[in-house]
């Protein structure tokens, strides 16, 4: 669902409803239009400028249709963000920890800094500071699930023998993605490829990661 704001601006205005031929029919088509409209309006108007009425008008649906699925605008924005995150932030599996982590951290940085979803995330984080119930929903809906996705490259590396089985994976994830979120949400410093690659290299050095080819050779030798 994610559309980069720069690309969207270059392409010019789009019709309100942009999903066609969805196998779930018109209902799912309308739901997707609402999610995209919420993303677009937040980027254009900011969090305070987003309203249920405005979302419905942009999506080309009745306000009652919106209320059929969501109670508040934050519920809509959260659903839009969760869908974008699931699509964009599942780490690849190249069979090598270094490659997987470099790609994943680069994608995370781009997602948070250069996409509509990143703008939505920052708005949701801000709203969560004043709404404990929503903060809990954001943690359970995104943060917990994203940490599960972030762990995948490390878990696969443990299975391959690249990482020690006793490694504290939770602490390792904090060391890898924590600095990215810190720069995005706190310092506003650049989160470029050089920065994310350095995070990966520092982690690999601290963890004393075995080369996957050497692990494979050792396994073959031991089996003879």
Say which range, 22-26, 53-57, 62-66, has the weakest mean pLDDT.
Answer: 22-26
Q: Quick one: pLDDT at residue 98? A: 95
Considering only residues 83 and 101, tell me which one the structure prediction assigns the higher pLDDT: 101
* DSSP string across 135-200: HHHHIIIIIHHHHHHHHHHHHHHHHHTSS-TT--HHHHHHHHHHHHHHIIIII-----HHHHHHHH
C-alpha distances in Å from residue 148, one per residue of 140, 169, 177: 11, 10, 13
CA distance linking residue 21 with residue 98, whole number of Å: 39
Tell whether the model's pLDDT for residue 178 goes beyond 90: yes
Q: Quick one: pLDDT at residue 143? A: 87
Place of tokens 């959260």: 78
Q: Which residues contact 40 (CB under 8 A, 6 or more apart)?
A: 8, 58, 116
Q: What is the pTM of this model?
A: 0.75
Tell whether the model's pLDDT for residue 10 goes beyond 90: no
Tell whether the model's pLDDT for residue 216 goes beyond 50: no
Select from 115, 133, 88, 89 the least CA-distant residue to 184: 115
Q: Which band of pLDDT confidence, cut at 50, 70 and 90, is reported for residue 26?
A: low
Total Cβ atoms within 10 A of residue 78? 23
Over residues 102-131, the pLDDT tens digits come to: 999 999 999 999 998 898 999 999 999 999
| Mean pLDDT for the stretch of residues 183-207 | 95
Tell whether the model's pLDDT for residue 147 goes beyond 70: yes
Say which range, 21-30, 76-85, 151-160, 210-219, has the weakest mean pLDDT.
Answer: 210-219
């Amino acid at each position: 669902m994610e559309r980069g704001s720069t690309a969207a601006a270059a392409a010019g205005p789009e019709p309100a409803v942009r999903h066609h031929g969805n196998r779930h029919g018109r209902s799912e088509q309308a739901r997707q239009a609402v999610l995209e409209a919420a993303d677009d309006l937040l980027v254009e108007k900011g969090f305070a400028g987003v309203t249920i009425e405005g979302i419905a008008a942009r999506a080309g649906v009745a306000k009652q249709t919106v209320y059929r699925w969501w109670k508040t605008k934050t519920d809509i924005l959260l659903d839009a963000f969760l869908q974008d995150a699931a699509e964009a932030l599942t780490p690849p599996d190249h069979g090598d920890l270094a490659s997987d982590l470099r790609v994943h951290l680069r994608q995370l940085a781009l997602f948070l800094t250069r996409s509509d979803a990143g703008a939505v995330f920052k708005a949701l984080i801000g709203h969560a500071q004043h709404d404990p119930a929503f903060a809990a929903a954001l943690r359970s809906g995104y943060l917990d699930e994203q940490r599960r996705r972030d762990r995948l490259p490390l878990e696969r590396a443990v299975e391959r023998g690249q990482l020690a089985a006793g490694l504290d994976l939770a602490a390792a994830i904090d060391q890898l993605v924590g600095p990215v979120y810190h720069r995005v949400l706190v310092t506003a410093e650049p989160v470029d490829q050089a920065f994310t690659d350095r995070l990966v290299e520092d982690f690999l050095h601290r963890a004393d990661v075995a080369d996957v080819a050497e692990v494979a050779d050792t396994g073959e030798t031991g089996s003879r």
